[in-house]
Chain A
Amino acid sequence: MESMKRYIKYIAVTAVTLLPLSACNDFLEVKPKGLDLEANYYQNQEEAFNGLVAVYDVVGWQGGNLTTKVGATLSASDDHLGGGEGTGDKTFTTWADYTLTPATGPQEDLWKKGFSGIFRANTLLLKLPGVPMDENVKKRFIAETLVLRAHFNFDLVRLFKNIPLLTEIVTPDEMYGIEQATPQEVYAQIEADLKAAIAEPNLPNTVPASSEGGRVTQGIAHALLGKVYLYQQKWAEAAAEFHEVNGATPGALNAKYGYKLVDNFGDLWKSTADVKFNSESIFEVGYTSTSAGGWGCIACTEGNILNIMTGPRGYTTKTANAPDYISGWSYFPVTQSLFDAIHYDPRYKYTIANLDSLKQYGIADYTPGAQNTGYFLEKFAGRKSNTPVGQAGAPELNYPQNMYEIRLADTYLMEAEALVMAGTDLTRAADLLNAVRARVGLSAVAATMDNIKLERRLELAGEGHRWFDLVRWGDAATVLAGRGFVAGKHEILPIPLNELNNTKLEQSKEYGGTR
């Protein structure tokens, strides 16, 4: 019996050995080393902010194929062509001559951009409620994220019309089952997001330019909501939002948001710190020369690639007073049509770089690229003076010039348009229109749609609005007829071909689909 006791003892020992391991869930919870996981990220305000920065990152998105929203839509408009080297870059030339197919064109990059932003925004919106942090700051983050999601959805619905409407992250289970929403549903969501942000008192009216310039404000939310209304032809609602942004007196400072047209139109196109986030800037896209962007990942740079893209190819100076353009890649050459329209306008010299003229007068030389017209986009052409020096990375990918997504002259003209279309306050419409003109020393004109359209074209040339405007006004088919634009088709981009593989998405009817 003595030995029996030992058996019992032994069995007890075994049981004790077994016990801790039967609680094996802990044993299986392996902590990944050196990896940040979604599941245990977003644990504090700093990580939440890092997530917010990632959403903003998409605002400045520049695709691996050099595709940017502004660049691509420039090539589609009557003001520009695709350009590039030799035979040209099919990404843009196919939109310039309207030979787009679901497989060729800039649509895949633009589609990716929008949905990357929405994924990041939806991730953050899912995570923020659980982040232990200052509640007011959290509310501000949520409002900012909603505005950015609205911005991404707005671009997508404008470009593609038939998009999936995603307000939550897509899980692997539902990945292939997503269907497209109607444009109305998308617009409703955009409006809801913007209204929710506007209703949030923690979303500030202004931010300190030096440290937070570029972050979403109430002004941005109102301006974007106005634009969203305008695209839906909700004139009164649009006018109201723009009124909020533009202020009581056109041309005067709107103290609430600090908005006022800058005095010198040419200053808008500088890239120095004092010009960034100026009083005219509403929604500005930030770039910097310090991110050491290199050729290994063009999409990774925080520098503005439009500067090198729009510069004249093979530029060399012949005289000391020649402009200090850098030698660029000759994308988005300006058309004769825009040249003719703006040639005698005070804004001409800030808008167009006339290389043919420089060449003709022996001041400088350049190599014509694809679809060359001799005219280049002065607003963005890179210059020696803003080429980064002594910074890591490839200089050509690190220009620090910011871009305006929305600026005050734009909202002035949009409000004028809404008022004219609504037929309500034509006086204010004229005041708005003429404030824009007066800034560059032009005389007053009547508030008619024709005048507003021309003003938009000249004031905002090269900033990526023209193609959207033409489509919105129904003028595209007429204006772009010579470029191959087919009414009822080219108002939107095709759904990217790869996106139809294995999914429930349908191609838009415009491109032979069923949607």
Chain B
Amino acid sequence: MLCFALTCGYAHAQHVVSGTVKDENTGEQLPGVNVVLKGTSSGTISDAEGRYSLEVPSQDAVLIFSFVGYAKQEVPVGERNSIDVLLMSDISTLDEVVVVGYGTQKKSVVSGSISSVKAADLEGMPINRIEQALQGRTSGLTIAANSGQPGGGATVRLRGITSFNRDGGNNNQPLWVVDGVIIDNGGIGYLNQSDIESIEVLKDAASQAIYGARAAAGVILVTTKKGKAGTLKMNYNGYYGISEPARKLDLLNATQYATLRNEAAAANGDPLPFANPEAYGQGTDWQSLIFNKSAKRQNHEFSISGGNEKSTFYTSFGYLSQEGIVATDISKYKRFNIRLNSTHKAKKWLTVGQNLGYAYNKSIGLGNTNSEFGGPLSSAINLDPITPAVVTNPTEANLPIYTNNPVRRDENGNPYGISPYVGQEMTNPLAYISKQLGNYDWGHNIIGNFFVEAEPIKGLKVRSTVGAKLAFWGNEAFTPVYFLNSSNIISQNSFTRENNVRLDWNLENTISYTRTLLEDHNVTVLVGQGAYLDDNTRMTRVTFNGIPADNFDDASFNYKVPATQRTSDASEGQDHTVSSLFARINYDYKEKYLISALVRRDGSSRFGENYRFGIFPSFSLGWVPSNENFWPANDVVNFLKIRGSYGFVGNDNIGNFSFLSTIGSGRNYTFGTTGSYLNGFSPNAPANPNLRWEETTSTNIGFEATILNDFTFTFDWYKKATKDILQNPRIPFYVGAISNPAANVADMENSGIELELGWHKQVGELTLGFNGNFSYLKNKVTNLGNGIKFLTDGNAGFQGSAYSITRTEVGHTYNSFYGFQTQGIFQTQEEIEAYVGPKGKIQPNARPGDFRWEDINGDGLINENDRKFLGNPMPNYTYGFTLSAGYKGFDVVVFSQGVAGNQIFQGLRRFGIASSNWQTEALGRWTGPGTSNTYPRLVTNDPNNNLNNPSDFYLKDGDYFRIKTLQIGYTLPKSVVSKVGLERTRIYVMSENLATFTKYNGYDPEIGGGTMSIDRGIYPQARSFMVGLTVGF
């Protein structure tokens, strides 16, 4: 298994051996490598250039080379006096180290459940945001992009959800910790993926509990790259390519549209709106007007790292630019990154250092990325295909609607067409784009920490870290005078500037002591203390109205409009503070029996005075039978670890001051005869001093194995029980309160299994690899408190419908789809007559072609009580795998991921606007007996609520399997590149989202958001093709 190469020298009878130690892959010299004479304690350490020199007693001597992160090598000296060694980096072996909270641990002795993604897994991957780096790469995570808007975030759920949606579901996003600095949910997008050394996903309470009251939604630790002592290393990686939409919706053309509109009108008894549908031909394809098949995309990263025994550094520069595939002029993203990480050994016993990242981003967003209420995409889906995109016909262009209104025009002065059929929020996307041009959001993020670590006695480390995140962000927006249609009119322009600033900081002090007692007892003890402050956003916004400009470029705040034309606003956030104490002990005996226990005590400013401090303990046990003497010494099962854990974590993401009673105004009254009134103030609701964290108890049982040397296998089973989930239940009126105070009332359970499988094999010059993972998750609400039967989620409205399309009820998955159930279509009047209940005909007003609704409660009526659970928005199954192969200089990587078990609610057609266009599915509508049993007749007023009722008709299977990345690379032979002074040169081509296999007929089955899988016309993920280059100097 150990691959090494020796450069043999000639035999000399000397006692000194010297040589250079290098990395086998990169050829980089390795300083600090331990070189020990086997069987003795004498040895040396390689210097900054990787050189070592050691006296050996005889030719029988054996040298042991060891270095963290590399496989140990034993080399018999023989007659040689010069031995150069290539160490193989050791990512897949058991000496791998994983980052745990406040430290690292050897993977083989970790008894909690942690999944890792390493830099090597991400190298050269087209990853714009860190969520993409995780999607499909580890078990336990369900990740769905919120949209395909460049720079857009994603919805991340670690082992399900443990809280009810508030704040758009952000309270269910895991805690991100970058180099020890806690980053709020929205802020993680600043990271440059090539700076990432590793990502650790802490999945069970045993590993999470070190983050106590903030860990219930899971913890993701990100570690950025550090320099290594040795020669200066420079790396460039970049790619350039284009993106395109993978799929268009099949929408009706103008003739089909007119035909179906006529049919719907006739069914309604209305006059036909279109005399001659054939005359309209194909009409306007709105989608093709906004889709860009060659949106540019590029990414360049350059890093320098190196150092000596005293100081090491890693510094990098990154540039990312991506154009959106929808309405590119108003959908773009740019980011610049700079990073400087350095470590200095100030004294033998004292290390200081810092990790500092800066990012600037400029983002142009089209606004509605998943909304059925207008915006370019939604309008393109719903607008009739008859209206021209640009009106060139002079007769039409001289209609009053164009001449009497400030309509938007193209560069030739022709007005953008305004639909006479589909109005309200649906507007000509080209006109919409023209009014948004130039508007953008910007952000500067400075995130970093500074640390001092002293090691006064070997193994005892005292460390102080201060970390901070300083963020500035805002936007600039000019709104011109416009008339998009009669519902979208702005008669005075405005120019708005918004600035936000926010500073979060933390201070942590830890003392750890690692010691091996009596040779076999390995103990590490950690105690620490932390203080955290965040949430203090300060915002100011100024708007000037009616400035003498008509586009963004000309707009300026130097136009001094009168005070009455200026509006301003400002606000500031409320501080959130956390104060913590924590301790952990890790113990193992001969790496056979593993015990870890930890406890964190968190105080949070968000908790009521009666529960200011929460204590979160956890422990885990492990047994490594393969290290037992009885374990057969064969190569079948090389390594086996069985582990289990139990513990408690909390969620303090419950809003600031929810426990307090606020005083409300406006309780006014008038005394006397003067006519003036007095201001009255009283509490809005009683305080809830008992308000506390949501608490999740988690049990995890798993094992890890290495089989036949090449296979690694990890299995986990877990169960999480969350109690005291926060809600604002309606309180009885007799309490007399105006608002409903928050209270800890509900309970929920998540359980699941996870598998990770790896296989790596080298056959001659062929390397093969496979990494796969699979997760199954089940979520169940077990209690809603106070006898409350169900809850509905404000995020899950369906256009103007009175019905929420999801419901949370005890015994069901949180936020399950809920609605009416169709039972086919009435083919004939007889079928309607025959559909009877206790009160006679159940749907007396139905006509053939209408849905037959299931009378769920059997009362003979169809009303709100005839709804049921229809499906689940969150996938039960997620999986991903990477296949890799290399031969000589060539390499191929295929990374794919998928989900299964969820439904998608396809609510992208505006049923409230009866004249909205249809997908071509509508051509298969019911038109007479036997024509369709799934798609109802079209009728303008929809008296049977065929389309108005949220029902299973709108639900589609959400399963998909996606080839996320395909990359083919070629590394030029070293003999060639070294001539021009390069260490390594690789060229590659790749594709992102090359193919998606799904039955779903919308743009994209991957739909994030507070409640996932509701397709309101989602901005789809792009398919990209890129060429790239990696150069190492």
Contact = CB atoms under 8 A, between A and B. Distances in A.
A286 B669 contact: yes
Interface in A36-74: 36-39, 41, 47, 49-60
Nearest to A24: B579
Given A28-B604, A172-B688, A302-B668, A178 B577 contact: no
Contacts of A22: 529
A41 B529 CA distance: 34
Contact of A288 (B577, B603, B670, B731): B670
B663 A36 contact: yes
B868 to A, nearest CB: 22
Q: Is the interface of B mostly helix, strand, loop or mixed?
A: loop
B682 A54 contact: yes
A21 B662 contact: no
A259 interface: no
Interface stretch (B263-271, B673-681, B795-803): B673-681
Contact of B660 (A7, A32, A290, A501): A32
Contacts of B672: 208-214, 276-277, 286
Nearest to B535: A30
A47 B679 CA distance: 10
Contact of B454 (A10, A51, A163, A173): A10
Interface stretch (A86-94, A95-103, A110-118, A190-198): A110-118
B24 interface: no
Given A120-B736, A164-B734, A175-B731, A213 B671 contact: yes
Contacts of A445: none
Interface stretch (B184-192, B365-373, B568-576, B969-977): B568-576
B677 A288 contact: yes
A123 B349 CA distance: 61
Given A36-B662, A213-B671, A302-B670, A291 B687 contact: no
A213 B673 contact: yes
Nearest to A209: B673
B603 A172 contact: no
A3 interface: yes
B657 A120 contact: no
Contacts of B688: 171-172
A503 interface: yes
Contacts of A473: none
A178 B464 contact: no
A17 interface: yes
A119 B660 CA distance: 16
B687 A115 contact: no
Contact of A289 (B661, B675, B686, B730): B675
B981 interface: no
Contact of B669 (A4, A56, A164): A56
Contacts of B735: 115, 119, 170, 175
Contacts of B687: 38-39
Contacts of B660: 32, 37-39
Interface in B462-519: 462, 464, 507, 509, 511
B732 A175 contact: yes
Residue of B456, B675, B679 with highest tally of chain A CB at under 10 A: B675
A37 B673 contact: no
B556 interface: no
A502 interface: yes
B531 A176 contact: no
B743 interface: yes
The size bracket of the interface on B is 35 or more
Contacts of B680: 50-57
B34 interface: no
Contact of A120 (B531, B667, B743): B667
A39 B671 contact: no
Contact of B663 (A27, A38, A170, A288): A38
Nearest to A163: B734
Contacts of B509: 14, 17-18
Contact of B671 (A29, A212, A291): A212
Nearest to B608: A172
A36 B350 CA distance: 49
A486 B675 CA distance: 44
Nearest to B578: A28
B733 A498 contact: yes
Contacts of B731: 172, 175
Contacts of A117: 736
Contacts of A394: none
Residue of B603, B657, B672 with highest tally of chain A CB at under 10 A: B672
B682 A123 contact: yes
Given A28-B603, A30-B605, A53-B667, A290 B676 contact: yes
B1009 interface: no
B345 interface: no
Given A28-B605, A28-B612, A503 B670 contact: no
11 contacts: A3-B347, A17-B507, A25-B603, A54-B680, A60-B670, A117-B736, A214-B669, A289-B675, A502-B786, A503-B732, A503-B734
Interface of A: 3-4, 6-7, 10-11, 14, 17-18, 21-22, 24-25, 27-30, 32-39, 41, 47, 49-60, 108, 111-112, 115-120, 122-124, 163-164, 166, 169-173, 175-176, 178, 208-215, 273-274, 276-277, 286-291, 300, 302, 400, 496, 498-499, 501-503, 505
The 6 closest A-B pairs by CB, nearest first: A119-B736, A53-B680, A54-B680, A24-B579, A7-B456, A54-B667
